[in-house]
A and B are shown apart, each in its own frame.
Chain A
Amino acid sequence: MARLAVSDLRRGVSILQANPSDPPADVPAPAGFGLPYGLARIPDGRLLTADRSQSRIIACAEDGTNWESFGSQGAGVGQFQNPMGVAVSDEGRIFVADTGNFRIVAMDAFDGTGWQTYGQKIAAGSVGPGRFAGPACIQHGPGGLVVADPAAARIVQLAQLDDASWDVSSQGTFRNPAAVAVLPDGTIIVGDLTREGLSIMASPSGGITETILGDVLRYPAALAVTSADSLAAFFLPTLALCSVVRDASGWNVSLDARLDQVGIRRPTALCQLP
């Protein structure tokens, strides 16, 4: 299995072992870390997570060194409100799901240079492009940024952070999409917390083309791409960590571990490590 980092509301960020049933190694963190949501890696190799409770983002190495935080609570430049997702493009651009501000933040670097925001609060009669009810999980892929907005029950893909590229799933496609992953070929995989299994789509507006079901799959809560044709996922309420692999026969799911059995009881996100 690929090396994985996992964020946990109690333990902070941990590194799962090659055998994920072995006890994980915690990434040392200063006191008062907060509540990590979302995981990604920035170009210098450090892990990136959003600290929801303290409205900031954090970067650090796997051994806890080079710890750095950016942002404060608010709605201005350099500020976040309970962020719940992070993503990094191949070019190294950092994206933050600024959940409580109903927007996406993009930065050229961790220090906030190139700060750009996109989006505002959804409202009755204003549900079109640029409107979010609480963007949570985000992933960057070949087609741009994919945003899960569970409070609006929809998935959005943005080739650029502008209304012109807004591509949204149709109403009723999802009820509570909380997790997304994008394979290198652009395939979007969505986990809906009120529906069993994983949904496959080529684009949000194209709708669901395939559904992956399996005995251990209940409500998918977090996804991480691990190769061109595979991803890792964990599910609620079982906290089953699974590998999901695409081959000629289709999608295959295997159970790798129970996260709660290795002390990960409140996981929120996964990320592949080199």
Chain B
Amino acid sequence: MSASIRVLTYNVQMRSWAMEAGAQGSLTPYENVEDRAKLISKRVLGSEWDYDVLCFQEVFDEDGRDALISHLKGKYPFRVEKAQGDSVSTVCATLLGVAGYAATIPGGAALSIVAGVIGLILIPFSKFEDSGLMIFSRIPFDGIPVPAELQDIVGQDKIPIVAFVEYEDSVWDDSAASKGVLYAKLVQDGKAFHLLNSHTQADATDNVEAHKDIRRKQLNQAFDLIKTMTGNVEDAEILMCGDLNIDGMSHPTTGFRQEWTERFNTPGAPFTKVLHDSWMHEQSPGDVRLGMLTLPDWFDRGMTVHNQRLDYALRGRGPLNGRRAMQHMCIAYDIATDATNPTSYVSDHLPVRIDLDLDRPFASIATSEQINMPIGSGDKIFDGFLVEGQMHWICIKDPGGYAIDLTLGGPDVRMDIFTADNLSVPVKPFSIQDEGGPRQEKMTRFALPLAPFLIRIAHPSRRGERRYRVRVHRYAGTSRLDAIPLQRNVPFVAQAKVGAPHSLNDPSTPDFDEMDTVWFCAALDTELDGSLNANSTISINNSDMDAFGLLVVASKPGSTDLALLDKVDAGPAVVSQVGYDRPLNGYFLAQRRDPSFTAERFTITLKSNVSYLYGNPNNAGSRARTMARLFCRDETDGFLGSEAGSDDIQINVSVGGQLRVHIPNSDELEFDDDSFRDLPQINMVRYIDSAEFELVELDDLSPADRTSIQIPSFDMLANTDKVLEGIGASLTVQLSLVFNPAEDDDDDDDGVYDLQITVSCEPPP
């Protein structure tokens, strides 16, 4: 049987109608909990990642709960459908874990076992809401045998080992909910797997860390429960997941927050010494050291909500005693989005996939197979077998242009490339267009100028064994077919062969002489209608003897033949600018003027005046790093200061006065304070200089019902504090829009929104 366990942890934002009405200040609140529950269920059941365990937080709405149960119960027969309690629940945990079994709990609490459903906890409560926690599992819960004489009374031969502890401290709206930690002991292959699901005290988005002392006490309670239920914390296999409301992002200028450091990076602290934050400590691509406060710029910060990483997996340190390895932890875009209906919003949090399997060589990012691939090292072939959910990770340490293909494996095996700044969305190929030229076999070209990068080979299915073969070829630039793909904005340090010509002249290209050149390529992209005056700048910085000049060539109209566009002789600074009004396959030839063939190194940089907005990472034609999202920090005031109702938002994106994207208002674009909406409709927008992003508030009677910003070009945004994540050619940026900065009764701006979107200088694949 497979040792693979795949867990989804997801704050599904299923607040009840009354909670929404209270929060939105309206008896006609926008709420679609049941629809979202159906969507989430459909995506879970349809996902190729075949989840074993689902840990949901914030399921307060009973109709949403019923919908989740109704749709998911077929696949997940073992469930904790509702957990709520007060101090009685501690007794519950003690009885289950220590005293043996409990059919009823003192104080009137009862452990109910309902036809086929194991682990429904119903305890009288003093809170207005339950914990919002649910567990769905297809891995059985461990149970404590019920004596034969009691089985008729209990109706079951085993009492499932589940427990719930309500946190003693909570404030603010959280005190109305029975927030706590839910425990279930799963058994797979005869071995215990201790699962915990928690949702801790929240902070206001504008006052992060305000309640960190409360969360510290809550996590101490959770740790006490872990000790009680596992007995030996050091050796047990434990996964505690959930929305812990502790910001675990390393912020570009300020690093980690103090609270994260105190909880998860302080020697001796329980969640540092015994358990640890898996995202930060098990996703390391190799050169992130524990204890560093400032991570390299390119490290994936793992944002799961607005500017924060709140959703966690906490695990025992190290794969000891058969403990599983963290194969991969990532944002589960298979659940957050739906390729067939990408506009359907499901939650303000992003779901997190936790993929565990037996520890084997190269099973995780942290233990990936480390490979050096200098130019001329020849192709690397990776052959192997994957069994039932296993992964194999390869870490390539040399930046460059590569062809990477899965040449054997079939549809059950998938191969994806990740850069270290985004461990959730695979790198899109350099091009999915026909690049022309003769080819003997299909090769998928990738521009990977920032190393290390990672290759993941996975067998998502838990059925059978699959053989795979991955071929990795590094382009050397010896010919058109061997051209090195260039990524814009990233200076690329290249080298030519020493002691002999790097390439030979090709008689089939009479327009130019490509003797002893290093070939590079890039798609020169512009609007098909010629409405953008696109141009590219190619520069060579000679570090060896000013020996390299530049030829710029491109495909002729209607042909794959090449024509010379520009030629710049060698010198200290070699710069070529080419303009174009139709998309071209461009080739840049660094030509050595050194008869002794001794000059070796130079740096080539491609820049373009065209920028791109991308919004949907699931689209094959998009380079979105994350889903574009709009966040409402403060909804607009209505007449005479009223905040009744929601903002009905409509979105327009224009370039040069031409409307490129129009997103009409719908129920999905109703905003209240602190609400999020996805904007996958912004698939791709090309622009030069700036693009206008406009919000229109439709139902407000106030005249201040429009606001817009000019989104600057990629060059203007890079290296500013607008960049949230990313490095290289695609960045996640955050830009603010304010409807009415001048008039406000609260000393705050009125109607404040944040747009998070990918701005790139790379054209679509």
Contact = CB atoms under 8 A, between A and B. Distances in A.
A153 B639 CA distance: 7
A127 B640 contact: yes
B128 A151 contact: no
Contact of A151 (B16, B17, B62, B701): B701
B641 A134 contact: no
Q: Which of B16, B17, B643 has the most CB of A within 10 A?
A: B17
A172 B25 CA distance: 16
Interface in A192-235: 193-194, 218-219, 221
B22 A151 contact: no
Contacts of B703: 124
B644 A265 contact: no
B635 to A, nearest CB: 12
B70 interface: no
Contact of A237 (B28, B176, B639, B644): B176
A133 B638 contact: yes
Contact of B638 (A153, A219, A238): A153
Nearest to B702: A124
Interface in B675-705: 701-703
A132 to B, nearest CB: 10
Contacts of B21: 193, 221, 236-237
A161 interface: no
A216 to B, nearest CB: 9
Contacts of B176: 237-238
A54 to B, nearest CB: 14
A153 B642 contact: yes
Interface string A111-154: 00000000001111001000001101000000000000011111
B25 A219 contact: yes
Given A171-B640, A238-B176, A260 B16 contact: yes
B644 A176 contact: yes
A180 B28 CA distance: 17
A150 B701 CA distance: 13
Contacts, number: 106
A258 B22 CA distance: 15
B298 to A, nearest CB: 43
B127 to A, nearest CB: 10
Contacts of B643: 175-176, 194
Interface in B541-558: none
Of the candidates A127, A175, A218, the one having the most CB atoms from chain B within 10 angstroms of its own CB is A175
B63 interface: yes
B645 interface: yes
A266 interface: yes
Interface in A39-94: 52, 84
A150 B641 CA distance: 10
Contacts of B702: 124
Interface string B5-35: 0000000000111110111011110000000
Given A176-B643, A194-B643, A237-B128, A136 B22 contact: no
A265 B25 contact: no
Interface string B490-504: 000000000000000
A175 B22 CA distance: 13
A150 B28 CA distance: 12
A176 B701 contact: no
Contacts of B26: 150, 176, 178, 193
Contacts of B128: 237-240, 258
A142 B658 CA distance: 59
A95 interface: no
Given A238-B176, A266-B17, A151 B644 contact: yes
Contacts of A219: 22, 25
Given A193-B25, A265-B63, A239 B642 contact: no
A110 B745 CA distance: 43
Interface string B738-761: 000000010000000000000000
Nearest to A99: B28
A37 B28 CA distance: 10
A209 to B, nearest CB: 21
Nearest to B644: A150
Contacts of B18: 236-239, 260, 265-266
Given A178-B644, A193-B644, A152 B22 contact: no
Given A237-B128, A238-B18, A136 B27 contact: yes
10 contacts: A9-B17, A134-B644, A151-B642, A153-B641, A153-B642, A153-B644, A172-B641, A193-B25, A194-B643, A237-B176
